[in-house]
């Protein structure tokens, strides 16, 4: 897990993903604008290519908010700022402090429909004996041959890419591709080979498109895959089913 904290006197920004992780702050921003009447408007901007869910927390002294907090708000891609909350003073001595967390995808208040969590294997190989290991966090690992093509399990939009690392000991620093799906979830393809990514941020992809290849990290010998979604306070990986076209694939 990798998190970024940016602190200011009144505000802080928390960017993190609990299962798959990335080390680049996307073009997202939350800030406040003070008004002449003493109120303050909390604004959010999303200049990325996909929706993000914002967990907004406020600490108010002698003020009240136009929305019940903490709250989970969705910022869709837009060139214009979106009002998240209006803070109104109640008496002198008022002040506020806020922090927020961004997670890829759309928060719905519910876990994804299990019927939408059936996928083909996220790679192409001639070996039919490769079976995933399933961890309690619903991260699935595969011991793949070097240079195995990694493919998109579902169509969507590329939200994040990192492929400059040659070797890394820590999983959260590994090369990866993140693809947003239109049901509000996103898939994570982790530990891909250096300079092997064939897609770029904002690019639409279809199921089965080759997006990268596996291998080359001498410290980590497996490919990691997960499908995640925003929760009330963060993000979680969902339990999924792999299907080979005829029957579900069993775990090891």
Give pTM, 2 decimals: 0.81
Q: ω before 70 within 30° of 0 (cis)?
A: yes
pLDDT at 169: 55
CA 226 to CA 99: how far, in whole Å? 27
Closest CA to 4 of 116, 128, 103: 103
Residue 220 C-alpha from the chain's centroid? 22
- Residue 117 has, within 13 A of its CA and on its CB side, a CA count of 17
Out of 21-25, 81-85, 113-117, the most confident range is: 81-85
d(CA 191, CA 211): 13
The predicted structure's pLDDT at residue 40: 96
134-153 mean pLDDT: 85
| Per-residue pLDDT at 154 exceeds 50 | yes
Residue ranges of domains in the chain, CATH in brackets: 2-104 (2.60.40), 114-242 (2.70.70.10)
With a pLDDT cut of 70, the percent of the chain lying above it is 77
| pLDDT of 30 higher than 60 | yes
**How far is 118 from 126, CA to CA, in rounded Å?**
21
Neighbours of 78 (CB within 10 A): 12
Q: How many CB atoms lie within 10 A of CB 29?
A: 16
Q: What is the mean pLDDT of residues 65-77?
A: 86
- At residue 171, the 3 state secondary structure works out as helix
Name the one residue in this structure whose structure tokens are 């910022």: 75
98: region left, alpha or beta (phi > 0 left; psi from -120 to 50 alpha)? beta
Q: Look at residue 211 and give its three-state secondary structure.
A: strand
Ramachandran bin of 89, using left for φ above 0, alpha for ψ from -120 to 50, beta for the remaining angles = beta
In total, the chain counts a number of residues equal to 252
């Amino acid at each position: 897990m990798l998190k970024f904290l940016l602190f200011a006197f009144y505000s802080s920004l928390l960017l993190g993903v609990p299962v798959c992780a990335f080390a680049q702050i996307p073009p997202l921003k939350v800030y406040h604008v003070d008004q002449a009447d003493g109120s303050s408007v909390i604004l959010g901007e999303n200049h990325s290519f996909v929706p993000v869910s914002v967990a907004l927390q406020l600490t108010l002294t002698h003020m009240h908010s136009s929305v019940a907090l903490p709250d989970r708000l969705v910022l869709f891609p837009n060139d214009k700022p979106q009002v998240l909350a209006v803070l109104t003073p109640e008496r002198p001595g008022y002040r506020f402090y806020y922090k927020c967390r961004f997670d890829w995808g759309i928060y719905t208040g519910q876990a994804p429909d299990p019927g939408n969590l059936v996928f083909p294997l996220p790679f192409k190989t001639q070996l039919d004996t490769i079976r995933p290991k399933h961890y309690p966090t619903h991260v699935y690992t595969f011991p793949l041959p070097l240079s195995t093509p990694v493919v998109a399990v579902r169509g969507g939009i590329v939200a994040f890419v990192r492929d400059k690392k040659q070797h890394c000991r820590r999983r959260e620093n590994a090369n990866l591709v993140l693809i947003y799906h239109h049901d509000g979830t996103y898939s994570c393809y982790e530990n891909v080979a250096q300079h092997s990514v064939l897609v770029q941020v904002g690019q639409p992809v279809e199921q089965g498109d080759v997006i990268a290849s596996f291998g080359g990290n001498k410290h980590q010998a497996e490919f990691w895959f997960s499908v995640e979604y925003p929760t009330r306070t963060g993000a979680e990986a969902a339990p999924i089913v792999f299907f080979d076209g005829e029957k579900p694939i069993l775990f090891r």
